[in-house]
Amino acid sequence: MAETISLAAEVRTAVGRGVKALRRGGKTPAIIYGRHTTPLPIQIETRTLANTLRKAGRNTLIALQVAGETQPRMVLTREVQRDPIRRDLLHVDFYEVSLTETITASLRIVVVGEPEDVKSGAGVLIQERDALEIECLPQDLIESVTIDVSQMKIDDVVRVKDIIVPPGIRFLEDPDLEVLRVTRFTEATVEETVTEPGEVEVIERGKKEEAEEEEEG
C-alpha cells in the first residue's frame, strides 16, 4: 500500500494580481479537482508544500486537510508548475480520488545490476520504456518497480508480462511489449538512455483555466 502524507491547506480567494502577492507572502496557489469534485482553489504554505512534494513523488497519496473541513481529502499530485529559471513553485494541481474507484497512473521502471555480456563489452542493454501505465485502487499505488538485469544474456528480453507487481495492480500495456533487451554490441543501433526523473513528474495535465486566470494582469 502506498504511503500517505498529510498536508494542510486553506481555501483561496486570491486570483489574478492577488496571486502574485500570495506568492510573495510565502504561500503557493493550488487547486483540487476530480471526477466527483467541484474545483476548489486553495493555498498552501510554500516551504511545507515543497517538502511534501519532495517526499510524495508521483504516486503517493496525500491527505489534504483544508481548513474548515472535518475530513481530509485524499489527493494525488497531478501537475506542478515552476518558474523556468528560479524553479520556484508557481501552482500545483491536486486530483481528489475515491478509495473505492480504480485510477490510472504511470509506474516507473528502475533497473539494477549489469549483465555480464554488457560488462565485457559484447552486449548492450537497451531500455525501451522507463515507465508503464497501470490501473489500480489509489491505496495500492506504488512508486516504481525494480528489475534486476544482472542475469540477462544476449538476446534476452523482458516484456510487460514478465514484470511482477503486487496484487491489485494491472498493466494497461500490451503484455508482449518489450521493456528491456540485451543485444550484441555490433547489432546495437540505439544506445541505452538513462532518464533522470524530475523532482515531481506530471502524471496528467490538470485544469488550464486556473493557470490562465492567474496570469491575467
Instruction: Kindly list the structural domains of the chain, giving each domain's residue range(s) and its CATH number in brackets, ordered by start.
Output: 4-98+200-214 (2.40.240.10), 103-187 (2.170.120.20)
Identify the pLDDT of residue 199.
45
| Contact (CB, 8 A) for 40 and 183 | no
Identify the pLDDT of residue 186.
77
| Contact (CB, 8 A) for 129 and 163 | no
Provide the whole-model pTM. Answer: 0.76
Name the stretches of the chain with pLDDT < 70. 1-3, 187-217
CA–CA distance, 82 with 50 (Å, rounded to integer)? 11
DSSP-based three-state secondary structure for 56? helix
Identify the pLDDT of residue 2.
56
Give Dmax over CA atoms of the chain in angstroms.
Answer: 65
Q: Which residues contact 5 (CB under 8 A, 6 or more apart)?
A: 52, 55, 56, 60, 61, 62, 63
The tens digit of pLDDT for each residue in 52-101 reads: 999 887 889 999 999 999 999 999 999 999 999 999 999 999 999 999 99
- The grid coordinates of residue 108 equal 516507473
